[in-house]
Amino acid sequence: MRIGVVGTGYVGLVTGACFADSGNAVTCLDINADKIARLNRGEVPIYEPGLEELVERNMAAGRLAFTTDTAAAIQAAEVVFLAVGTPPAADGSADLSALWKVVETIAPHLRERAVVVTKSTVPVGTCAGIERRLQERTGRSCRVASNPEFLKEGAAIEDFQKPDRVVVGVRSPDVGETLRSLYRPFLRTENPFLVMSPESSEMTKYVANALLATKISFINEVANLCERMEADIDDVRRGIGHDSRIGFAFLFPGVGYGGSCFPKDVQALAAMARDKGVSPRILTAVHDTNLAQKKVLGEKIAAHFGGNLKGRKVAVWGLAFKPRTDDVRDAPAIDLIERLLAGGAVVRVFDPEAMANVKAIYGDRLEYAAGVMDTLDGADCLAIVTEWGDFRRPDFDDVARRLAAKVIFDGRNLYAPEEMRARGFVYHAIGKVPVT
């Protein structure tokens, strides 16, 4: 099948590469000429395990191309996927300005029977709006569908190629069958292909992310309570997670969620609710709880030093919002760095993939370590923000030698308090009695 993908960000690039890898002819379109030039040189602008190899293989096979030429990408396409950003506006609602501009740009180039599919996360009713705008600009009824993505950064290729379900929102059975044919190579293990209205499909994406975010905020709030009650959140988590109605997924306490999806989708769903006269009390609480949780590690560090951070040297392990990505959008590490810098601390950071993105934000306001252990030299404490595998089993004797004081603030509960006590560390985790 001939496919056009508009947007070469995270979703668009993964979508285009995976569809090309299943034998389709895919052309990815972007207005950013520098990004397209880099992609045509084989340079993938984001870090996602396996993506660079996938892009290289399919470009070499002639199945994947990148262009800034709208006509070249759209005119021959049987299916056009829209994968442009929908960032939050000031009121939390989704900003669709980029999407509407794309719709106007592609309209003159669409084939008569082409299917336009929204991959972007968009408010309920957006597909209907696209249909209206395309009809106004083409003079004919156009086929529009919703196909939300459920990709986890760091595991996106696996998620796309082996989905637990595919959701499509369509107006007519023939559009549903077109998309079913396109996804058939990825559903050979009989995982469901769910067909519904575009409105239900659009809502499904928001509700899925909001519910997962709710689990994270809930366990974080319980973790904070556990500390004050001298209970251990890991014991509590195990005690509830074995209940088949609850499970363990997204029940790991930490320093809050970040990234490009959960923060904006919770706010956007709440904004949709308010627009329809529904009070989004749970969604508001989820968002507010997460904002507060991002401050917890900084507050623990400040309290340890008696409220005076001036001149203190803090080592920070982990900058990306999660492992296996370089994405620092809404990352808890950013909140921590802001708190430390505001207090006058000297901050030295390390992350296996996200250093360049953080340096683009902070420049020379931070110190950037060459390696994991180099971060620690002379630091008054270590703060762990992202659970990269590099941090899980360090040489604790070397950690103790390099730190000026044996103090660890673990925002991801990587270590056992008993081991930290035996090694003579002061150890603060999330939802656990501190080791002092």
Catalogue the active-site residues. Answer: 261
Rounded distance, CA 308 to CA 150, Å?
43
Q: Are 381 and 403 in contact (CB under 8 A)?
A: yes
Q: Give every CB contact of residue 367 below 8 A, 6+ residues apart in sequence.
A: 346, 347, 348, 349
Rounded distance, CA 349 to CA 342, Å?
16
Rounded distance, CA 333 to CA 297, Å?
9
Rounded distance, CA 54 to CA 99, Å?
27
- Exposure on the CB side of residue 3, measured as CA atoms within 13 A: 29
Q: What angle do CA 24, 30, 36 make, to 5 degrees?
A: 85
Q: How many Cβ atoms sit within 10 Å of the Cβ of residue 227?
A: 19
Nearest to 79 by CA among 175, 186, 194, 187: 175
- Mapping DSSP onto H, E and C, the string for 78-90 reads CEEEECCCCCECC
Q: Are 253 and 233 in contact (CB under 8 A)?
A: yes
- Exposure on the CB side of residue 128, measured as CA atoms within 13 A: 9
